[in-house]
């Protein structure tokens, strides 16, 4: 090889090396820019979650967990926005669970062991509680949950123990959507019960509710058929549960949708508790009637609350009146 050819070869090698170095620097710069962008995204999301954490104190613990994962986790920096969204969803979901658990445990002392059918407030505030019996039932419960969610309404479901056992996911859906849960016995019996038999009906259902929901302890009981003297309500009251009857009977267990609507609207009063059903039969008329019931009551100025919320409002009113 001549010197001239060798020099040319070296110059080409030097040029190729220079190009490689330039390309490497560009790749390094792009990588730094991507990491910087991800860090900025994590920081912005962290600030947003901090604001939400301040607005929603119940979710503070979940918010703190999310903050720590967002700012320091290399997994999040490696996978980007999709992973961040997943963590945020998990934190908000956990917050919803904790709110629902707290809601189901809030029964003021003045109502423990007592029987209520309506709870009017002294202020005349137009609050009303929708309640649904005999579920969960796959098709009908799901439709009712969808309607309630669409209209931003929280309700109270009095569930049958054996249905909870058979359809635990539906039960879990109820409380994940923010609804309150009540005990409606294991098998919906009407006959007389000894204390031991009543305990089997009620305690077994309580345990299955807790198992299906991951810890919800229901403090509400509704006797099947509204029978108060067959030993079931007495046992529930003895355990400190609130026995919940109703002041508005929709008669949806046999009436067509137009009559269900008429029955509810004609009997509605502030503090009323409305009897409806999501199980125990064909509930398509209830599903048809429910959106109109919600819309018409809202037009009349009613606010929808769960039974625990209704009891808590009354307890707060009583405490204020007594100077507590």
Active site (catalytic) residues: 133, 277
- Number of alpha helices (DSSP H) and beta strands (DSSP E) in the chain: 12, 9
- Number of Cβ atoms within 10 Å of the Cβ of 74: 7
Buried b (16+ CB within 10 A) or exposed e, 303-320: ebbbbbbbbbbbbeeeee
Q: Are 145 and 177 in contact (CB under 8 A)?
A: yes
Give CA–CA dist 205/294, Å, rounded. Answer: 30
Given its phi and psi angles, is residue 87 left (phi above 0), alpha (psi -120 to 50 degrees) or beta?
Answer: alpha
- How close are the terminal C-alpha atoms of the chain, in Å? 104
Give CA–CA dist 2/8, Å, rounded. Answer: 10
Which distant-in-sequence residues (6+ apart) come within 8 Å of 29 by Cβ?
none
Q: Are 227 and 102 in contact (CB under 8 A)?
A: no
Give CA–CA dist 64/254, Å, rounded. Answer: 51
């Amino acid at each position: 090889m001549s010197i001239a050819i060798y020099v040319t070869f070296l110059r080409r090698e030097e040029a190729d090396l220079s190009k490689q170095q330039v390309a490497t620097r560009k790749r390094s710069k792009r990588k730094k820019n991507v990491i910087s962008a991800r860090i900025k995204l994590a920081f912005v999301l962290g600030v947003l979650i901090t604001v939400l954490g301040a607005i929603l104190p119940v979710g503070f613990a979940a918010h703190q967990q999310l903050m720590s994962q967002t700012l320091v986790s290399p997994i999040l920096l490696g996978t980007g926005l999709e992973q961040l969204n997943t963590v945020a969803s998990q934190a908000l979901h956990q917050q919803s669970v904790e709110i629902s658990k707290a809601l189901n445990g809030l029964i003021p002392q003045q109502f423990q062991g007592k029987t209520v059918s309506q709870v009017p407030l002294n202020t005349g505030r137009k609050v009303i509680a929708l309640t649904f019996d005999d579920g969960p039932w796959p098709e009908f419960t799901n439709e009712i949950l969808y309607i309630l969610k669409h209209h931003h309404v929280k309700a109270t479901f009095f569930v049958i123990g054996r249905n909870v056992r058979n359809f635990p996911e539906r039960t879990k859906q109820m409380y994940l959507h923010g609804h309150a849960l009540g005990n409606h016995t294991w098998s919906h019996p009407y006959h007389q019960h000894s204390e031991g038999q009543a305990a089997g009906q009620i305690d077994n259902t309580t345990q299955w509710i807790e198992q299906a929901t991951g810890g919800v302890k229901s403090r509400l009981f509704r006797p099947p058929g509204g029978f108060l003297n067959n030993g079931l309500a007495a046992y529930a009251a003895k355990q400190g549960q609130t026995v919940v009857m109703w002041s508005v009977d929709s008669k949806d267990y046999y009436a067509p949708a137009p009559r269900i609507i008429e029955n509810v609207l004609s009997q509605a009063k502030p503090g009323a508790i409305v009897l409806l059903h999501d199980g125990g039969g064909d509930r398509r008329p209830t599903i048809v009637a429910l959106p109109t019931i919600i819309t018409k009551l809202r037009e009349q100025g009613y606010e929808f609350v769960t039974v625990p919320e209704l009891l808590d409002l009354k307890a707060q009113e009583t405490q204020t009146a007594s100077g507590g």
